[in-house]
A and B are shown apart, each in its own frame.
Chain A
Amino acid sequence: DQQVKQNSPSLSVQEGRISILNCDYTNSMFDYFLWYKKYPAEGPTFLISISSIKDKNEDGRFTVFLNKSAKHLSLHIVPSQPGDSAVYFCAAIDSGTYKYIFGTGTRLKVLA
């Protein structure tokens, strides 16, 4: 039972354009969401997060949007750069149980 889903395994975007990565979840007890980026042969690194009491959080080129009613979040990268090419994982936390669940990942390729 995949509680956090990333339905697009891969995405290609032209440099300078917007990248939009999507994530859906099923558990209404999740109250905190995070995005991680992973390069080959390295562990994932934290990118940006959002609490369930907010609907948007911005950090430089990265913005995360949360739609609680749809149980959907998205990561926007503007403008996209070749160095953003990596696998992106969304994650959700159930603060009551400390459970931290990751999605299956989306491989982003930014074309120069």
Chain B
Amino acid sequence: KAGVTQTPRYLIKTRGQQVTLSCSPISGHRSVSWYQQTPGQGLQFLFEYFSETQRNKGNFPGRFSGRQFSNSRSEMNVSTLELGDSALYLCASSLPGATNEKLFFGSGTQLSVL
């Protein structure tokens, strides 16, 4: 079974631009969540989608948005990039309807904002 796939692996953008990151979950997984990892801040929860609906949202500004498609693939968009958005963005998927299920993570997209 293929794992969680995130594209692109690396991305360099300049301030003010926007970016879209993509995540393909493990086949059969319907929950997809996104996290931001920065040094010293751990994994900060961005949002979670289940069956194309945003089920939970973290404390990030509205510049961060996401969506999930009918095939469970998900995209995350950041508009008007700021230097502080430089981070590793991780996507994770889990089994349908599970509440205490472990997450399966992709390798992440390393975003650098110059």
Q: Count residues on chain A whose CB falls below 8 Å from chain B CBs.
A: 26
Is B100 interfacial (CB 8 A cutoff)? yes
Inter-chain contact count A-B, CB under 8 Å?
A: 58
CA distance A100 to B45 in the complex (A): 8
Is A89 interfacial (CB 8 A cutoff)? yes
Tell whether A104 pairs with B102 under 8 Å between CB atoms, given A44-B90, A99-B56.
Answer: no
Closest to A45 in B: B105
Q: Count residues on chain B whose CB falls below 8 Å from chain A CBs.
A: 24
Is B106 interfacial (CB 8 A cutoff)? yes
Closest to B100 in A: A32
Task: Tell me which residues across on chain A come within 8 A of B4, comparing CB atoms.
Answer: 43
Q: Mark B23-53, 1 if CB is under 8 A from A, else 0.
A: 0000000000101000011111100101000
Is B70 interfacial (CB 8 A cutoff)? no
Q: Are A102 and B35 neighbours in the complex by a CB distance under 8 Å?
A: yes
Q: Are B102 and A89 neighbours in the complex by a CB distance under 8 Å?
A: no
Pairs A-B, 7 closest by C-beta atoms: A43-B105, A104-B42, A102-B43, A46-B102, A32-B100, A95-B99, A105-B42
Known: A43-B107, A45-B105, A99-B45. 19 other contacts (CB 8 A): A32-B99, A36-B103, A36-B105, A42-B107, A43-B92, A43-B105, A43-B106, A43-B108, A44-B90, A49-B100, A91-B43, A98-B55, A98-B99, A100-B103, A102-B42, A102-B44, A104-B41, A104-B42, A105-B43
> Could you tell me which A residues sit within 8 Å of B by CB distance?
6, 9, 32, 34, 36, 41-46, 49, 51, 89, 91, 93, 95, 97-105
